[in-house]
Structure 1
Amino acid sequence: MKKGLTRWLMSIGLASTTLLGTMIPALALTQAEIEERLEAIPVFTVTDANGAPLVARVEDQLFAGIFINPTDADAFRQRVITQNADLNNSVQVIPVSMREIYRIERERAAQARRNPAEENIDFVYIPEQQQLDLAQSLLPAGQEIQGVPLFAVRVTDPSQPGSNNSVYLTLQQEDGSPVVPFYFSKQQADALAQRYRESVSLPANSNAVTIEVSTLEVILANWEQSDQPGLQQIFLVPSPAAIQRATSGN
């Protein structure tokens, strides 16, 4: 896990920002490509003494929470301990790669298709409430965020005149290839937007730079099914809090 996170952090050239308008056409990503993009994304689960995720039964289905923010996982663990004092020393918050969760989900989905009568556990990603609220504030009235919010930066491209000339702001990897960062934290997207404004001398309130909201679920579905141009350039960026917790060993 630590190695994967370190490799991710080292692979992105954070000093360089560019515009990406017409992206390179590509087919839907392979499973291996999707898993590679998820490898360095830490998520957090609350487990029992055997290391198995705690589950809840809702009607006839079992669910296990996968937390995006470690603080939320800690709070859930504390609620469990408060209600079940005998579990105090056995319930833990464990960081795990989103790649592993994704792989297990696909394996269980395939198993469910083979044997529909067998009981399976559904993983549910639980977003941070603050990020949900921030994402909701960016959506049109009446539209509700559905899923784990992700934030990307879009800018008006002066080289493309016209009303529909908003493009993604990209970062450049060490090999020179562009990536479009989608952040789990709006604050990180805001920081990238501010760096761009400063680099081109735009005022802080310029509407030439905007934050776009998507969701983890939409990105995953597009990676799996869509041949939409540019999908291969999208990379997910975990929050600093998630990285710190996953690499600290606590």
Structure 2
Amino acid sequence: MFKPFINTLALSTIAIATPLIIPIIAPAHALTEAQVLERLNGIPVFTITDDKGAPLLGSAPQKGSEKPPQVLLFFLNPDDAQATLTQIQKTNPAVGSKARIVIRSMNDAYEVIKKNQDKKDIAFQIVPAKASIESARTILTSQGKPADKLPNVPVFFAIGGKDKEQGLLTLEQNGKQLVPFFFDQKDLQSLIDRAKQQQPDVANATKIQVTSLFQVLDSMVATKDNKPNPDTERFTFVPSRNAFEYVVKNQPATTPAPATKK
């Protein structure tokens, strides 16, 4: 089972072709955890390391006298990573002068966390963009749902149509219909706006929904009795345009994987 703050980047992107809104009816095969994690290769995360590539760890406050664990943060928004780096440079110039932002895939981040999950003095956190949290809160509030039940890492998808014809918004890529989950609500809205040019009646009835990344990942993995989850083979993830553009501009040819300090 995928969990929000334990664990869980090669940049590949989904080519946004013709957006359609069609019912999801075809069954799919259950996926293994490894196959699911491969879908996260195209999602960049940003972490802060020293000049040797070792991640800089912060402290997480805890109640009581227990020693706070160190925290390794994986940011989904490069601006948040930059703000944290700037703060480090101000408060600790000796460390900050050698610190840098490193781009990883979320899959790589998951592997790093998985290898270190037995270390009780280190915690891991994926930090969503503030704008995504606000978008998720707005959607939940508009649906009459408690805003304090925000997903740890929100992803956005769209449904459209009426009654039994209602389906998920899909994208066509290489002849395949994919169901996209966006990390930025504004990117999904832009896609819907484009869909209105071809399917105005359907697109106008489309509504953006929000869910937890980890719930989506769980739904894609084979169940204990190995029964397939319908259509999860077509699930794909779309990074925010902001993150994608940062990677295109800043990613070096090769980047060493981060390693936690002993």
TM-score of the two chains, using structure 2 as the length reference: 0.79
Partners in 2 of 1:218 and 1:120 — Cα distance? 27
Partner of 1:180: 179
Alignment of 1:23-102 (within 5 A): 23-27=26-30, 29-58=31-60, 59=62, 60-102=68-110
Partner of 2:166: 166
TM-score of the two chains, using structure 1 as the length reference: 0.82
Q: Deviation per CA, 1:127-157, whole angstroms, max 9, x where unpaired?
A: 1111111111111342421211111111115
Residue in structure 2 matching 1:22, options 21, 25, 28: 25
| Aligned alpha-carbon RMSD (Å) | 2.3
How much does 1:16 deviate?
A: 4.7
SS of 2:22's partner is: strand
- What is the identity, as a one-letter code, of the residue corresponding to 1:41? I
Partner of 2:151: 146
Partners in 2 of 1:40 and 1:142 — Cα distance? 31
Range that drifts further, 51-60 or 176-185: 51-60
Residue in structure 2 matching 1:218, options 173, 194, 215: 215
Partner of 1:160: none
Alignment of 1:104-143 (within 5 A): 104-109=112-117, 112=118, 118-119=119-120, 121-139=122-140, 140-143=144-147
Distance 1:122 1:18, change over 3 A: same
Partners in 1 of 2:177 and 2:202 — Cα distance? 26
- Bigger share in helix: 1
Are 1:184 and 1:238, in contact at CA under 8 Å, matched by a contact in 2? yes
Q: Deviation per CA, 1:195-219, whole angstroms, max 9, x where unpaired?
A: 2222123398x4x210010122222
SS of 2:85's partner is: helix
Runs of 4+ in 1 over 4 A off after TM superposition: none
Partners in 2 of 1:50 and 1:133 — Cα distance? 35
Distance 1:177 1:101, change over 3 A: same
Aligned residues: 229
Identical counterparts, % of pairs: 25
Instruction: Note the residue ranges of structure 1 that are not aligned, 5 or more in a row.
Output: 113-117, 158-162
Instruction: Note the residue ranges of structure 2 that are not aligned, 5 or more in a row.
Output: 1-8, 63-67, 252-262
Q: Deviation per CA, 1:178-205, whole angstroms, max 9, x where unpaired?
A: 110101111111112222222123398x
